[in-house]
């Protein structure tokens, strides 16, 4: 009788003998599994790339590409999830099993196939896959938590600094520009003082969404701390970075921030810097230049974008 595990599982049968495929398909589908098939290794790889199955029942002896090579290619592909592979062969020698397991097979079954044994092995492999998928999902969540700000969903400061390290080195190596913009929400403290921290959190989240809206896919948008944000702009010269900052400033200025119990408006100050620049020799100086420009924007009355051009600033440590 089909059970929940069987109904949710798709098995790819790889065998160049059509009769073998039909026997396996009939037996597995009778037990509730959804089956697909491929008659050679190349077709199997294409099907796996297009839609990874939950399990592969893989014949060893096939023309052009044998099961060992198929298993090696699947297991070495980092883009694929964990897919258990049960190899099937008429050879019952230890050497054959060792070779198959060494190629990446997770289990082995010999012909002629005993369906009671096959189903037990399939169930066992699918249990392992379920656990592996849960581990992969948990690791993905941990990775996401390690690089993102919990409130806004933007990159956190630690990840921004790591990306800055990589992006500055890349820009210097290829002699490509790199823009950096620091943003600060004007008079943000009064939002918390007047409307409460929940309202302040909503303003931060909406400001983050506005920054992501105007940023390119290649840009790195993050929360630098408190009400400060930083955006790294690969390939952007100073003028382009200023244009981006001004667009973001206008988005914030024109936005009506909503929160439970009210609405408000806020403006944003922006400090803009870009490498290469005679006073910017390394990545820390790029951030300091943008931060100095941000300070000047506040000094000049806020709600403006100020560029670091070196004339009125000192970016030295």
| Catalytically active residues, by annotation | 227
Residue 169 sits at the vertex; the CA angle it makes with 168 and 173, to the nearest 5 degrees, is: 115
**Which residues are CB-neighbours of 14 under 8 A, at least 6 positions away?**
37, 38, 39, 40, 41, 44, 56, 57, 58, 59, 62, 67, 70
Q: Both ends of the chain: CA-CA distance in Å?
A: 73
237: tokens are: 């010269």
54: tokens are: 């939950």
- Distance separating alpha carbons of residues 109 and 77, to the nearest angstrom: 24
**Number of other residues whose CB lies within 10 A of the CB of residue 105:** 25
Contact 83, 105 (CB under 8 A): no
**Which residues are CB-neighbours of 100 under 8 A, at least 6 positions away?**
60, 67, 68, 71, 87, 89, 108
- Distance separating alpha carbons of residues 11 and 83, to the nearest angstrom: 10
- Distance separating alpha carbons of residues 76 and 115, to the nearest angstrom: 30
Find, among 25, 73, 67, 72, the residue nearest to 49 by Cα: 73
**CA–CA distances in Å: residue 275 to residues 4, 91, 229:** 58, 64, 19
- Distance separating alpha carbons of residues 8 and 261, to the nearest angstrom: 46
């Amino acid at each position: 009788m089909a059970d929940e595990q069987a109904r949710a599982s798709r098995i790819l049968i790889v065998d160049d003998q059509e009769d073998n495929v039909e026997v396996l398909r009939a037996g597995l589908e009778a037990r509730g599994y959804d089956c697909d098939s491929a008659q050679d290794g190349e077709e199997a790889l294409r099907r796996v790339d297009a839609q990874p199955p939950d399990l592969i029942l893989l014949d060893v002896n096939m023309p052009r590409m044998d099961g060992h090579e198929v298993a090696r290619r699947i297991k070495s592909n980092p883009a694929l999830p964990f897919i258990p592979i049960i190899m099937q062969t008429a050879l019952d020698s230890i050497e054959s099993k060792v070779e198959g397991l060494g190629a990446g097979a997770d289990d082995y079954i010999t012909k002629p196939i005993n369906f009671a044994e096959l189903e037990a092995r399939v169930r066992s492999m699918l249990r392992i896959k379920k656990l592996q998928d849960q581990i992969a999902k948990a690791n993905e969540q941990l990775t996401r938590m390690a690089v993102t700000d919990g409130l806004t969903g933007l990159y956190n400061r630690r990840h921004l600094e790591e990306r800055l390290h990589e992006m500055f080195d890349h820009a210097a190596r290829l002699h490509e520009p790199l823009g950096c913009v620091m943003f600060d929400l004007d008079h943000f403290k009064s939002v918390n003082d007047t409307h409460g921290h929940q309202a302040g959190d909503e303003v931060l989240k909406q400001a983050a969404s506005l920054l992501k809206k105007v940023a390119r896919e290649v840009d790195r948008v993050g929360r630098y701390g408190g009400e400060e944000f930083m955006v790294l702009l690969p390939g952007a010269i100073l003028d382009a970075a200023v244009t981006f900052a001004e667009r973001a400033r206008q988005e914030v200025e024109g936005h009506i921030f909503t929160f439970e119990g009210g609405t408000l408006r806020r403006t944003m100050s922006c400090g803009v810097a870009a490498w290469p620049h005679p006073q910017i020799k390394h990545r820390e100086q790029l951030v300091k230049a943008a931060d100095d420009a941000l300070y000047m924007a506040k000094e000049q009355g806020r709600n403006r974008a100020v560029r670091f051009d070196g004339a009125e600033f000192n970016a030295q440590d």
